Structure 1
């Protein structure tokens, strides 16, 4: 029976756990990289002359712009335009002790308000030549901004790549298992039914692998049963041929005697005719059994009925069987404690099986010893055991076992089994049905 997959072991929850774990690790790595990146940028920016070099570079660009456009210190709109194009700098222009321009307030004409210049210790001033004379320019740039942006992009990309790697690595193990199952199925398709399917984990794939392995075992058993049936059929045909040959030979012999008139009296003639009649009846009996067996072998899959208790299904059948055997002079010990399990049967098959078993008991059982019928439970199967002692037969017995083989075939079609064992004079036959325990 295939295992039941727990929800927490299902592929869906495994994938969810994988995604959550990968996301958590990626976020953690991003935070570490972000802290490390900020530290490296700050350490580089404040412990080098990078800011000074950038300031000087932008001052040179500003001087070129002023020279190309002959700007004065009061051309606020032109200065504002230049600052906006640079994007990451701001400037203040001071001339003759007055603040002439502040890019933070580009629309305000500061020189009209005569704002006095204030020298701040943290500001660096550069001399720039305007059309109306030299002025001092203070420049402030957010040069580290671009480094932080680049670092953020790199950190996000690395974290996302790590997330993908973790997810793909987790999926890779499942894909490898799927490919392995695919290879093993191809091995089974090649006919190697002895190869065991690998069952790994407790998810849906493991349940699938377990189901495939169960199917392999079932198919292997089916092939074995079919091989045994073919072998048994060949044995039956061989034995039937031998059993038919004997009466045919006798009939030919006696008819040859009658044709030649090689008999001494009318009494001897009648004796030969009676022997021919007995041999012909024997042949008819054998051919009837063979026809019944071949008819059984050719029947399609039987439709089983609804599950019922053993007592409900077999009580009347055993009552009739015991009564019939008692009429035939047999003592029957019915030692059955009805099992609590439920079974599915074909009533037609069960009646034919009981008729067959009863007929064999009447033909071959010793009436001086009791026939014992008892209930048996083996694993997940329930059935009945018939025991008797075989009587000593004088002549002309059915030695081909076609009746027992018919019972085996009918039990097999009902997904059950039949086992017959003879030890000396003791004969046992066991029939078992798949059971559903309450």
Structure 2
């Protein structure tokens, strides 16, 4: 707005100066060619003579002479007698005739004889009739320049008001629920910042809604999958217990088998419910609320990975382990990180092929720690299904640590790659 005002003022002043120069040149040429001033002076002198004659005014009657002179806006009147100034229109009114002692300093041709009622005097007229037209011209120029200023300002203001009205219409579209509508952003002023802010807020809101929708769908899918996974062993468990309760078994060996199967199904249900609780605990914890501690990275990872490898090697798995020799520090929540490795190696124990080596390594690259775990999938476990709840939990925990989990599955190979910031 300030730039618009300054621009309008500069344009208006430029127009005023231009019009002044053009008007002055036109008036100068007109007055020079048409002897305008001389003609007006003659008319004024004739009018003064008639005024003196009709009112029988004496030379010393300055009051009456001043009455006439005051009506002539663009005329200065001087009266001389014997080359002495006896009346000056620019002097204060005097009550009586008081000749000046100063000699006359004017050209003879500019003096005109005037016959007063008592004697004859000489009159000198200074006429400025042309200034009337210069003043009128200046007034017109000021008016035109002011109108130009107003027009330019209205032009800029209308542009802004049109943009404001457009933003108002677009906001009503957003209010109607169409959050995909893009707010118009243009200019480089406060309205531009406002429109940009509204658009960023709209995008953030859309992203939040999409995130909530994804979370809702993920939870729905999880609950559906978990209910299915829980229902299967629960149904079997109820069946085994019914057989035991109503003594439908034939031998003691059958009874022991049913009790053993019931116990296995109970542990399966417990495992699934533990994972479910773990999932909800992790996903209901804000990223900022997690408490981090600083650890020696090599010592921590060697301990965590060695524990898991030792357990699986005892179960018949083979490992190729490659550690990083470069020293580094990690800021992590030990319980959460331990939970990540528990989930990953638990999946390895269920789905990995014992006849193939499981590759485990970690290294430093671009100020980040990378942990890679790769195994071959057991081809004999085609009927084994998974809800993926463990991997989702791992991704959430690593995200809380400002890191990332990438999992890839293909050609019977499963790879998990974890990246974490180091200090």
Same fold? TM cut 0.5: yes
Q: Does 1:266 align with 2:255?
A: no
Equivalent in 334, 337, 352 of residue 339 of structure 2: 352
Equivalent in 335, 348, 351 of residue 361 of structure 1: 348
Assess if the C-alpha contact under 8 Å between 1:305 and 1:344 holds in 2.
Answer: no
| Partner residue in 2 for 1:4 | none
Distance (Å, rounded) in 2 between the aligned partners of 1:301 and 1:404: 18
Q: Deviations over 1:113-172 (max 9, x none)?
A: 89799631xx484x7553225666443311122322333333334334434544554565
| Partner residue in 2 for 1:6 | none
* Aligned-residue offset at 1:72: 0.6
| Partner residue in 2 for 1:331 | 319
Q: Does 1:119 align with 2:102?
A: no
* Aligned-residue offset at 1:38: 0.9
SS at match of 2:288: coil
SS at match of 2:240: helix
Equivalent in 88, 91, 94 of residue 103 of structure 1: 88
RMSD: 4.5
Q: Map 1:19-168 to 2 at 5 A.
A: 21-48=7-34, 50-51=36-37, 54-55=40-41, 58-59=44-45, 62-63=48-49, 66=52, 70-80=56-66, 82-84=68-70, 86-93=72-79, 101-103=86-88, 109-110=98-99, 119-120=108-109, 123=110, 125=112, 130-132=116-118, 137-166=123-152
* Aligned-residue offset at 1:291: 2.2
Assess if the C-alpha contact under 8 Å between 2:279 and 2:393 holds in 1.
Answer: yes
Equivalent in 153, 175, 178 of residue 192 of structure 1: 178
* Aligned-residue offset at 1:104: 6.3
Distance (Å, rounded) in 2 between the aligned partners of 1:117 and 1:222: 94
SS at match of 2:34: coil
Distance (Å, rounded) in 2 between the aligned partners of 1:105 and 1:203: 58
| Partner residue in 2 for 1:7 | none
* Aligned-residue offset at 1:30: 2.6
Q: Does 1:246 align with 2:232?
A: yes
Distance (Å, rounded) in 2 between the aligned partners of 1:116 and 1:401: 117
Q: 1:326 to 1:249 in 2, by over 3 A?
A: closer
SS at match of 2:289: coil
| Partner residue in 2 for 1:221 | 207
Q: 1:234 to 1:251 in 2, by over 3 A?
A: same
Q: Does 1:400 align with 2:400?
A: no
| Partner residue in 2 for 1:3 | none
Assess if the C-alpha contact under 8 Å between 2:297 and 2:330 holds in 1.
Answer: no
Which of structures 1 and 2 has the larger relative contact order (alpha carbons within 8 angstroms, sep 6+)? 1
SS at match of 1:295: helix
Q: 1:69 to 1:347 in 2, by over 3 A?
A: farther
Q: Deviations over 1:220-268 (max 9, x none)?
A: 3333332222222112111111112212221222222223322222122
Assess if the C-alpha contact under 8 Å between 2:85 and 2:102 holds in 1.
Answer: no
* Aligned positions, number: 413
Q: Deviations over 1:334-371 (max 9, x none)?
A: 4769899x998766544433333233333333343223
| Partner residue in 2 for 1:426 | 413
SS at match of 2:211: helix
Distance (Å, rounded) in 1 between the aligned partners of 2:408 and 2:304: 21
* Aligned-residue offset at 1:323: 0.8
* Aligned-residue offset at 1:206: 5.1
Of 192-201 and 136-145, the range deviating more from structure 2: 192-201
Q: Map 1:207-218 to 2 at 5 A.
A: 209-210=195-196, 212-218=198-204
* Aligned-residue offset at 1:111: 8.4
Q: Map 1:365-384 to 2 at 5 A.
A: 365-367=352-354, 368-373=356-361, 384=371
Distance (Å, rounded) in 2 between the aligned partners of 1:207 and 1:343: 41
Structure 1 unaligned residues grouped into runs of 5+: 1-10
Assess if the C-alpha contact under 8 Å between 1:100 and 1:109 holds in 2.
Answer: no
* Aligned-residue offset at 1:375: 6.1
Of 275-284 and 206-215, the range deviating more from structure 2: 206-215
Distance (Å, rounded) in 2 between the aligned partners of 1:336 and 1:179: 62
What TM-score does the superposition give when structure 2 sets the normalisation length? 0.76
SS at match of 1:421: strand
